[in-house]
Amino acid sequence: MIVKRKSLSWWEQIYLPAIIGGLKVTLRHFFARKVTMQYPEEKWVVPEGYRGAPYLVRDQQGNTKCVSCQLCEFVCPPKAIKIIPPGPDGAAADRPNAEKIPKEFDINMLRCIFCGYCQEVCPEEAIFLMKDYSLTGLSRQEMIYNKEKLLALGGVHNDHIQKWKHKLEEAKEQRTFPLNEHE
Ligand code: SF4
Ligand code: SF4
């Protein structure tokens, strides 16, 4: 099927109406309020509750809260988390009565989709999605954040429960798990 092209009038052939129409749009936007941000000099103010990159946190005594339960590793949809639990010769505990500090804890930020499942599932409130949304690196390896980096970025989280602080006293009170009488 051949569609006949509509012939232009003399007024249309000189393109003036189209040019004037285009200039009107340009002028209207020229004087309108600007919405473009000069990123990265100007930073976007992240709203409350925004879910950015997940980091590990310490409690107010500086103790690592993660106990290597690996729930977050299990639920993470893109398999971005890799945890190596301490094992018999694992990482030294940085608090009394705790022996399950992860030996290694990596998050591949290239895989992470900021879904928040790790935060939801964590029984220790040890991992939180913070407000970082712009993560950059010069190599893939650089985008795999290790335990030290995750803890440094996560900072301190005010822990109101602090169950580890009272764990030994509570254990002694629990007759279901009799302790060595000589202790
Ligand atoms: S936010 Fe989601 S994708 Fe990212 S590490 Fe946590 S569970 Fe995995
Ligand atoms: S961050 Fe939380 S869920 Fe993940 S291993 Fe540590 S304690 Fe378990």
Q: Which CATH number covers residue 97?
A: 3.30.70.3270
What is the pLDDT averaged over residues 41-67?
91
pLDDT score at 183: 44
Between CA 126 and CA 132, with CA 129 as vertex, the angle to 5 degrees is 130
DSSP-assigned letter for residue 113: -
pLDDT surpassing 90 at residue 151:
yes
pLDDT tens digits for 59-87? 888 888 898 999 999 999 999 999 998 86
pLDDT tens digits for 89-111? 656 666 665 568 898 999 999 99
pLDDT surpassing 70 at residue 178:
no
- The better pLDDT of the pair 110, 43 is held by 110
E runs forming strands in the chain: 54-56, 81-84, 104-108, 127-129, 144-145
- Beta-carbon contacts of 104 under 8 Å, excluding residues fewer than 6 positions away, are 82, 83, 84, 146, 147
pLDDT score at 169: 75
Number of domains in the chain: 1
CA 63, CA 96: separation in Å to the nearest integer?
10
Q: Which atom of ligand 1 is nearest to the CA of 117?
A: 7
Q: Give the distance (Å) from ligand 1 centre to CA of residue 8.
A: 59
- For residue 105, the cross-strand partners are 83
Alpha carbon nearest to ligand 2 atom 3, residue: 122
Alpha carbon nearest to ligand 2 atom 2, residue: 122
What average pLDDT does the chain have? 87
- Find the helix or strand (DSSP H, E) in which 150 lies: helix 147-154
Q: Could you tell me if residue 122 is inside a domain?
A: yes
Q: Give the distance (Å) from ligand 2 centre to CA of residue 177.
A: 25
- For residue 58, the cross-strand partners are 64, 156
Q: Which domain holds residue 119?
A: 54-160
pLDDT surpassing 80 at residue 49:
yes
Collapse the DSSP code of 138 into the 3-class scheme (helix H, G, I; strand E, B; otherwise coil) and give the result: coil
Between CA 92 and CA 101, with CA 95 as vertex, the angle to 5 degrees is 45
Q: Which atom of ligand 2 is nearest to the CA of 81?
A: 4
Q: Which atom of ligand 1 is nearest to the CA of 119?
A: 6
Residue 176: pLDDT band (50, 70, 90) is: low
Q: Could you tell me if residue 1 is inside a domain?
A: no
Q: Could you tell me if residue 78 is inside a domain?
A: yes
pLDDT surpassing 80 at residue 174:
no
Q: Could you tell me if residue 26 is inside a domain?
A: no
Q: Could you tell me if residue 11 is inside a domain?
A: no
What is the pLDDT averaged over residues 112-126?
95
pTM (two decimals) = 0.74
